[in-house]
């Protein structure tokens, strides 16, 4: 199979569906392709009208079948397309609703592939494809997408696991190809002393394929697996998937599909009950000891401090209501073991919340944030962090794995970010100089996508305002992809377009003037902070840096504005950037203009994140001319310590010398 395969190690999201009249988490796909080969259409074109007709037709029919195809209009404006939902997707009605939402976000709202004729989009449980060419007759599996499991774990898998996975998927090929639904699942016993004891697989074709065509398509995917999923040390990654418009494949170490009588079982031993009984007895004994110790500790704590016990029980109940079963409630003993009892050797750093450690849990390597005794962030901020991140699942938001509330400890467990924060990169001259413009642009785009997501997160007609967007709260994974963190002071706003009065909280230089002076916030407050971040990323200078120019001292925003007025923005660009090498000077200056639009003093003059994302992604968009930015005649000076979560700002008025 000659497919265009993009190998991306990414977080595989399980996205939830919300009300159909709002932007929801369904807006964020696993992967999408906007093909230039298909050309583009206009805003009021016949092609767009036909596309909307086709979208309605496919969405309606997907409520009764997992695969539907169709066409709308006549050449040269005809539109062809099809949709495919996973064979075990919960109910055809849910499939139709999801397809309808995907088309709405793509066609009506234009968040993805705006005005592209040839589009393919993959979600976790379904995909859609449409084009000006008759893709229904095209049996190729392009464009395809390859990804590892969500954590790229290799330590629990090995050669035996890889062999079982390949054997399992090869056998499921025949099951899927022979099935009228062109869908098959299977399970294989791995056994041994490894942590992984089972392997699970799922393969699917579009049902319009003939048996031989489906078999050939799936066999090609299976043949690709060793190249993409076997590790350099001969271990096999514990999970992976290959998605194509005509057929797809996925395997994991944990069950991820609905089992049926048709689910294939291979190599399950018949005489292993004795070992299992021994293991169960051992587990029961260990659990009994753990429960006894936990109960004894609870009784001692109850006698020692009844008030604290009752408070923690109540808060634990509230947290459980907030997050349900989405995350893990770890015990304090697990956390102590993972961090060597919070040893200095495993300490990553310290912030307003408290110290952060790294450790190993069953999940893998994680970051463990412990509320310090000196921290002013109490149970309210702790619960606030959980209640927001529990509901926010996005590639550009840090993933919360679990929490611990035991005795007087309040601990949050996150995915581990090997490159720490953007602020840490700022402080390392060599690392900062290694950030090319494509890398910096990717960081800017990723932050924008994360903000767009939280600002449009629908929860009873409300939106989420982060309130503390800054370089130290932008974490970077192993591929330097940005993830927004620290929702401790985030809040729900009654509307994405209305301001709301609140106590001023934030960080010097990043806080919008309406928050600092008038105690009023909205999503435009986060837009201001994002504009400051863009200027820092482009210039390599912090916002509170003092720039001597025109016999006066300017902050970063004022300095950028004066260069803009002089038509000399190139001076703002970091000297470590090889602008000529990437031929990117015009792109960088465009980003400076977008940043200046974001840091306008009046919130109404700032774009929202939908507009910002469009300006960043569609290079030909005409931009407005910015006005004088906020804090133009003010020198920004920090006045707070690291051990406080209420971060007030001080701005000193500076008259020209």
List the one residue out of 171, 174, 264, 181 whose CA is nearest residue 212: 174
List the one residue out of 392, 386, 319 whose CA is nearest residue 14: 392
Q: d(Cα 559, Cα 565) in Å, to the nearest integer?
A: 10
List the one residue out of 394, 375, 281, 570 whose CA is nearest residue 28: 394
The H-assigned helical ranges of 429-522 are 429-433, 437-455, 513-518
Cβ atoms of 434 and 520 within 8 Å: the answer is no
User: What residues form DSSP beta bridges with 121?
Assistant: 32, 128
Q: How far is CA 433 from CA 38, 236, 429, 587, in A?
A: 39, 35, 6, 19
Dump the DSSP string for 136-174. GG-----SEEEEE-TT---TT--HHHHHHHHHHHHHHHH
Q: d(Cα 657, Cα 655) in Å, to the nearest integer?
A: 6
468, 477, 526, 608: which one is catalytic?
468
Element housing 199 (H / E): strand 198-205
Cβ atoms of 42 and 126 within 8 Å: the answer is no
Q: d(Cα 334, Cα 180) in Å, to the nearest integer?
A: 48
Q: How many helices and strands (H and E) does the chain possess?
A: 17, 28
Q: d(Cα 102, Cα 386) in Å, to the nearest integer?
A: 28
Q: d(Cα 327, Cα 227) in Å, to the nearest integer?
A: 33
526 is catalytic: no
φ/ψ of 266, rounded to 5, equals -130, 145
Q: d(Cα 231, Cα 201) in Å, to the nearest integer?
A: 19
Q: d(Cα 157, Cα 154) in Å, to the nearest integer?
A: 5
List the one residue out of 184, 168, 247 whose CA is nearest residue 213: 247
The residues carrying an active-site annotation are 468
């Amino acid at each position: 199979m000659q497919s265009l395969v993009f190998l991306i190690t990414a977080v595989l999201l399980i996205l939830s569906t919300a009300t159909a009249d709002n932007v929801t988490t369904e807006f964020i796909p696993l992967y999408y392709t906007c093909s230039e080969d298909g050309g583009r259409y206009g805003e009021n074109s016949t092609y767009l009208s036909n596309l909307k007709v086709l979208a309605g037709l496919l969405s309606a029919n997907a409520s009764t079948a997992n695969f539907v195809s169709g066409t709308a209009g006549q050449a040269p404006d005809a539109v062809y397309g099809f949709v495919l939902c996973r064979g075990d997707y919960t109910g055809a009605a849910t499939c139709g609703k999801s397809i309808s939402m995907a088309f709405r976000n793509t066609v009506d709202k234009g968040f993805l592939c705006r005005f592209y004729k040839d589009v393919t989009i993959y979600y976790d449980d379904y995909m859609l494809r449409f084009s000006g060419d008759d893709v229904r007759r095209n049996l190729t599996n392009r464009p395809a997408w390859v990804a590892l499991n969500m954590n790229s774990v290799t330590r629990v898998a090995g050669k035996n696991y890889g062999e079982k996975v390949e054997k399992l998927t090869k056998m499921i090929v025949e099951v899927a190809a022979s099935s009228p639904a062109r869908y098959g699942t299977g399970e294989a016993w791995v056994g041994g002393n490894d942590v992984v004891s089972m392997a699970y697989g799922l393969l699917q074709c579009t049902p319009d394929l003939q048996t031989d065509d489906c078999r050939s398509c799936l066999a090609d995917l299976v043949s690709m697996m060793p190249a993409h999923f076997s590790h350099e040390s001969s271990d096999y990654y514990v999970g992976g998937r290959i998605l194509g418009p005509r057929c797809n494949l996925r395997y994991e170490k944990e069950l991820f599909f609905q089992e049926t009588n048709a689910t294939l079982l291979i190599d399950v031993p018949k005489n292993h009950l004795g070992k299992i009984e021994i293991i169960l007895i051992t587990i029961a004994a260990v659990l009994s000891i753990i429960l006894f110790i936990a109960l004894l500790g609870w009784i001692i704590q109850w006698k020692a401090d009844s008030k604290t016990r009752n408070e923690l029980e109540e808060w634990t109940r509230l947290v459980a209501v907030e997050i349900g079963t989405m995350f893990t409630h770890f015990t304090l003993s697990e956390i102590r073991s993972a961090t060597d009892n919070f040893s200095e050797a495993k300490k990553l750093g310290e912030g307003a919340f408290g110290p952060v450690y790294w450790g190993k849990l069953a999940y893998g390597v994680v970051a463990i944030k412990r509320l310090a005794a000196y921290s002013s962030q109490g149970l309210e901020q702790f619960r606030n962090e959980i209640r927001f991140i529990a509901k926010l699942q996005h590639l550009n938001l840090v993933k919360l794995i679990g929490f611990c509330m035991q005795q007087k400890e309040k601990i949050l467990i996150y995915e581990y970010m090997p490159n720490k924060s953007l602020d840490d990169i700022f402080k390392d001259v060599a690392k900062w100089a290694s950030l090319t413009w494509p890398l910096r642009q990717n960081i800017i785009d990723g932050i924008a996508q994360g903000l767009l997501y939280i600002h449009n997160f629908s929860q009873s007609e409300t939106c989420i305002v982060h309130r503390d967007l800054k370089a130290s709260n932008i974490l970077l994974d192993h591929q330097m992809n940005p993830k927004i963190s620290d929702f401790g002071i985030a809040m729900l706003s009654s509307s994405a377009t209305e301001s709301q009065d609140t106590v001023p909280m934030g960080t010097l230089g990043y806080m919008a003037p309406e928050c600092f002076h008038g105690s009023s916030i909205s999503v435009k407050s986060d837009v201001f902070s994002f504009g400051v971040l863009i200027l820092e990323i482009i210039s390599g200078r912090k916002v509170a840096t003092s720039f001597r120019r025109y016999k006066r001292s300017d902050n970063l925003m004022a300095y950028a504005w004066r260069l803009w007025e002089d038509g000399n923005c190139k001076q703002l660009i970091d000297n470590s950037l090889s602008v000529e090498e990437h031929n990117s000077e015009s792109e960088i200056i465009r980003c400076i203009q977008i940043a200046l639009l974001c840091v306008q003093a009046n919130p109404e003059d700032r774009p929202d994140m939908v507009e910002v994302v469009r300006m960043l992604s569609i290079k030909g968009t005409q931009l407005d001319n910015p006005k004088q930015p906020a804090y133009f005649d003010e020198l920004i000076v920090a006045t707070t310590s690291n051990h406080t979560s209420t971060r007030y700002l001080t701005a000193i008025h500076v008259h020209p010398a």
